[in-house]
Structure formats: C-alpha cells, structure tokens
Structure 1
Amino acid sequence: MKVSPAIYDAFQTVMRTGTMSGAAAILGRSQPAVSRMIDKLEDSQGVKLFERRKGKVVPTHAAHLLLDEVERLFVSLGSLEDFGRRMQLGQDSGVGVAALPALGLDFMPRAIARFRRNRPHARVLLNVRMSVSVEKWVATQQVDFGLAETPFRLTGFETKIFADADYVVAIPDDHRLSDVSEVHPTHLVGEEFIGWTHFVSARPIFDDIMQGAGIVPQQLVESTMSASICSLVREHQGLAVVDPFTAWAQRGSGLTFRPFRPRIPCRFALLQPEMRALSALAQELIGEIETLRDEALGDLFR
C-alpha cells in the first residue's frame, strides 16, 4: 500500500503533540481525519503505532523507530524542495575551468571576481595548468571549459579562438628601450634576454626570427611562465617576450611593454567538451571573460 507524505506528516505531528486533537489543530484537519490517517499508516506498516488511553496516544516502540525514518524522509524532501531555489541562486551549481598560466594567474581571477558580483553564491573551480593538461581536462569532461594555447594535440572537444594577439616585449621602465614605439631584433643586440624554455610555442618562432636577422640573443635565464619572466625583467635580469594578458596585468609595476616586430602570434582558444553542453552559469562566466579580454587587449598600450 502506498502511503502519501501527508500521512507521514500527520504521524510526525501526532508524535510531537501526543494527541489526535492537537495534531488535527496543527494540520488544519478534523480529528477523525487524522485518526483515519494513522489507521492507514498502521495497516500499511503492519504494526501497532499507538496505544489509545483516555484521549491521549502513547507511542509504541515501533512508532519511535518509524519516527527516525520519517524524519530522515522529511529532511530529504525539504532538500528537494529547496533544490530549485538553490539552483536559481547558483548555490548548488558551479563552474569548473582549466586555464593555462598566461590567463589563469591574473586574468581569470579578475574575470571571476566580476562574475561573482552578480552570482555571489556560485562556486567556481579554477585549475591553472599548462596547455597540454588543459586539453586533457576538457577532453575527459573534468571541467566545463578550458583556455589553452594553439595548436592542440588531443581531440574530444570543440574549440573557438578566444584571442589572436601578439607577444610583446617586457622592458624595465628605466631601460633605454622603454621609449621606442616597437622593438625589432636589432634593438636586442648586446642585450641579455630572458628566454622561454624550448617546449613553449613562442620559443622556436623567436629563435627563427633572431636567426634570420643574424643575431644570437644572450639567453642565460629561461622560464615557462610570463609571470615569472616579468619578475625577472623587473629585477633587471634582461628583456623578454611575454604574452599580452600577463603584460596587461603587470602594467604599472616598473615595466614597460612594447610590440615586437616581426610579430609572434599569441593564439588562445576556448575549449568545450564535445558531449557536454555549457550550463547557464558557464555561459555567464564566458561572457565576463570575453568582455575583460576586449578591455585588456584594448588597454595594453594606452
């Protein structure tokens, strides 16, 4: 026999009040109606739940055991009733993002801060990984979307270009090249240079450009991330080529940034799992990211 939640609610109320009449008053039902509900519950369970004594009801041992189960039931029902409201507020939903360091260290935290002004209860999980790891996280659907540098080695995700910009040169504010409008290979003759490690895509392009100009740069220090390279430039360890988003975040910190010519392309893409649709929250966060991207690239050389 199926028992409705209303009958369990009546049982719970009788247990609290100790009388059928008291439960009826709380539930807005007649006393006979509440009695019939309890009778139906006893029939369905096959046990006696109450002893009737002079207008009062005395719970049996079975009633106390059933009460524990009913209370757990109503906790679960309450959670289900609140689920829609929590989803609307973004409390039980979130966004998982994987981003390469060029975007994950400074740019993404600023975009997330903007996003959470409108969604203060939304959860955001930011995973900062090298581009090849971002590909893996997206391909295996561990995140809602990712941001990585092209070209890609894996499949299992859809891509669209997020930014097609240029690498720029980081220069200490007091350096002689801080006043030039753009930096060419000939400007780097005799200059110490902080290089990328060889598995970073910008490194072979830079090496080819310098070799074509007949210049061998003095690259005594190398790194894998623009943020650490900028810190080294600030310490006067040399000049460097860095991505434009890190340059934007580092403005006003003792560094000047200038275009490098010929250009070294900096192409970042947004990756989305093929078999996983973007949630509304993920789409909102992407909107904030795209807005901040336009601001960053427009403000870099102002």
Structure 2
Amino acid sequence: MSVNPQLYTAFQAIMRAGTVSGAAELLGRSQPAVSRMIDKLEDSVGVKLFERRKGRVVPTHAAHLLLDEVERLFVSMATLEDFGRRMALGQDSGVGVASLPALGLDFMPEVVARFRALRPQARVVLNVRMSVTVEKWVATQQVDFGLAETPFQLSGFETRIFADSSYVVAMPADHPLAGLDEVTPAHLNGVDFVGWTPAVTARRIFDDIMQGAGVVPQMLVESTMSAPMCSLVRRGLGVAVVDPFTAWAQRDPSLVFRPFLPRIPCRIALLQPETRNPTALAEDLIGLSETLRDEAVTEIFD
C-alpha cells in the first residue's frame, strides 16, 4: 500500500473539523475534491472510515484508530523536515521530550526554563501526551526521553523510576479538613468530591480504598487530569485527590494539600530508547528534572 500524504491530510482535516465542508475550508479545496480523496483513502486502507448520514460524516471505530497512526506519521515527517533544515543551517540537534500531563503542563516548563538559562542556544521540543503515547514515542525513537506513569504496555525502551511518591488531597484553605495533618476515607464521608473519570488508574485504586472503608464520596464532578481538578477545588466545588507534581504547580494561598492515607502511589518512570545513547543535552535536561523533582516533593510533603 503506497502512502499518499495528501489523502491522510484530508482525513486528518475531516477528523478535526467534523464535516467535509469544514475540512475543505481548512485545506483550501472544494468539498467534492475532499470527498474524492477520502474515497481513495478508504479504497487504499481497505476499511470504511466514515458513515454518511444525512449530509454528515460520522467517523467509524477504524477512523479513530487510524487518526493516532496518522498523527504519529505527521510528527515523524515534521521531525525529518525539521532535521533537514537544522542540518542545512549547521545547527546542533536539540532535545525532544514526551511527558504525561502531570509533569508536562507545569513541571517540565519550569525545567525547560532552567535548562535554557544554562543552554540558551539549545532547542527543546516538549510534547505533552498521555502515558501510553509517551511509550510509543520513546519506543519508536521520536524523542530523546519520556516521562510516563507505570505500569507499561509496550517494550523497546529502558526505564528507571523517576518518582515514587503519593497522591495528596487538595482542598480550599478554609475547608474544615484543612486543619488535619492527613486525610483518610472516613474524613471524606459526606464531603463534596471532585474525582477522576473511571478510565484513570488512580480512580480505580481510590474506589477500592473507599469501598473497603465503607465510604461513598459525593462525587459531583469528574475530570481526567489533576490540573483542572485543582481549578475546580479552587472554585469551591469540593476536595480532590491529585498527583503531587500538579499540587506543587498549583500551590497558592487559596489551596492546601494534605497526605491521603492509605497511600495511593504515584509512580512515574523515565523512559529512554534502548538502542540510542542519550545526548549530553538530554542528560542535562534529565538532571535538571531530577533536581526539580526533589524540590517539588520536599515542598509538598514537608
């Protein structure tokens, strides 16, 4: 099967826009032209990608699976093009990092700022992705290293523990539980709670703990990430159990954080391609990450 990038560009545009007309506008093409490109792509891959319903296109399950592969393809193509430009300009290579959101949203930007202060000419690409995607990118050598939550689903990379910490309870500074040194399931009985969605691993551990304690929290709002959970807590919508690095990033006088017992582990690993040695720039960035990790954990738990 030959790969025609234009067909995949049209496919990606429809997935983003949600309609053929929207994709045509994004691509600067006519709607019939975009429709023909999708027909050719479906013939090429041998599966139906969209259901046509009353003038609308509805992605099939196969389309959602293909989208992840297409985005990885375009990342790889962009990386190759960028590499060629940098080589033509005689520039040294930089550092590519993939990080789960718990570290990628605030923690790693601080690391990158410290790194750039030491290496002002160095180029850094920070990709914030879910852990399973971080695994894929490291295994396929699309980045120099990654940070992902354990356990892993793939192979093809070397790992070592980056952080072995615990989740904490976030609450408004004036909340009745703020005076406690630690929070247990019994303290959460009848308390408004901002929780993770069921797909999050820590949610399943939390549910098991609460069920064992015979406590049913009033989970009125759910989210997939700790950062918006902290924002919801700050707005008085309840308390939440969040990862310690987001807690460090979200600290301000309006929020307090307390250890949650029994402990919910927050284990994050450093992933590196097993067939490629780390560059000096990557080692510097990893070293700064480890320094800030120690600072953050100390600040949250001391």
TM-score (norm 1): 0.70
- SS for the counterpart of 2:207 is helix
Amino acid across the alignment from 1:223: S
1:184 matched to 2:172? The reply is no
Listed as ranges, the matches of 1:168-183 within 5 Å are 168-183=168-183
- SS for the counterpart of 2:262 is coil
Q: Deviations over 1:206-247 (max 9, x none)?
A: 000000000111112111111000000001111110000010
Amino acid across the alignment from 1:169: V
Displacement after TM superposition at 1:267 (Å): 0.1
Listed as ranges, the matches of 1:144-159 within 5 Å are 144-159=144-159
- SS for the counterpart of 2:109 is helix
Tell me the equivalent position of 1:257. Answer: 257
- Work out the CA distance in 2 between the residues paired with 1:253 and 1:146: 32
Amino acid across the alignment from 1:102: A
Listed as ranges, the matches of 1:49-198 within 5 Å are 83=90, 91-198=91-198
Tell me the equivalent position of 2:268. Answer: 268
Cα root mean square deviation, aligned: 1.6
- Work out the CA distance in 2 between the residues paired with 1:253 and 1:205: 29
- Work out the CA distance in 2 between the residues paired with 1:169 and 1:144: 33
- Work out the CA distance in 2 between the residues paired with 1:253 and 1:121: 36
- Work out the CA distance in 2 between the residues paired with 1:271 and 1:114: 21
Q: Deviations over 1:121-149 (max 9, x none)?
A: 10000000011111111111110000000
Tell me the equivalent position of 2:208. Answer: 208
Tell me the equivalent position of 1:228. Answer: 228
- Work out the CA distance in 2 between the residues paired with 1:223 and 1:92: 40
- Work out the CA distance in 2 between the residues paired with 1:291 and 1:266: 18
Q: Deviations over 1:281-302 (max 9, x none)?
A: 0000000000000111011144
Amino acid across the alignment from 1:220: L
For these two proteins, the number of residue pairs brought into alignment is: 217
- SS for the counterpart of 1:182 is coil
Displacement after TM superposition at 1:114 (Å): 0.5
- Work out the CA distance in 2 between the residues paired with 1:201 and 1:253: 29
Amino acid across the alignment from 2:142: Q
- Work out the CA distance in 1 between the residues paired with 2:232 and 2:281: 38
Q: Which structure 1 residue ranges, 5 or more long, are not aligned?
A: 1-78, 84-90
Displacement after TM superposition at 1:201 (Å): 1.3
- Work out the CA distance in 2 between the residues paired with 1:218 and 1:119: 48
Amino acid across the alignment from 2:287: G
Amino acid across the alignment from 2:192: E
Amino acid across the alignment from 1:175: H
Tell me the equivalent position of 1:17. Answer: none
Displacement after TM superposition at 1:253 (Å): 4.7
- Work out the CA distance in 2 between the residues paired with 1:281 and 1:197: 37
- SS for the counterpart of 1:143 is coil
- Work out the CA distance in 2 between the residues paired with 1:295 and 1:177: 26
Amino acid across the alignment from 1:136: K
> What stretches of structure 1 move > 6 A for 4+ residues in a row?
none
- SS for the counterpart of 1:300 is helix
- Work out the CA distance in 1 between the residues paired with 2:301 and 2:270: 24
- Work out the CA distance in 1 between the residues paired with 2:301 and 2:206: 21
- SS for the counterpart of 1:142 is coil
Q: Deviations over 1:49-99 (max 9, x none)?
A: xxxxxxxxxxxxxxxxxxxxxxxxxxxxxx99x95xxxxxxx522000000
- Work out the CA distance in 2 between the residues paired with 1:240 and 1:252: 16
- Work out the CA distance in 2 between the residues paired with 1:236 and 1:276: 48
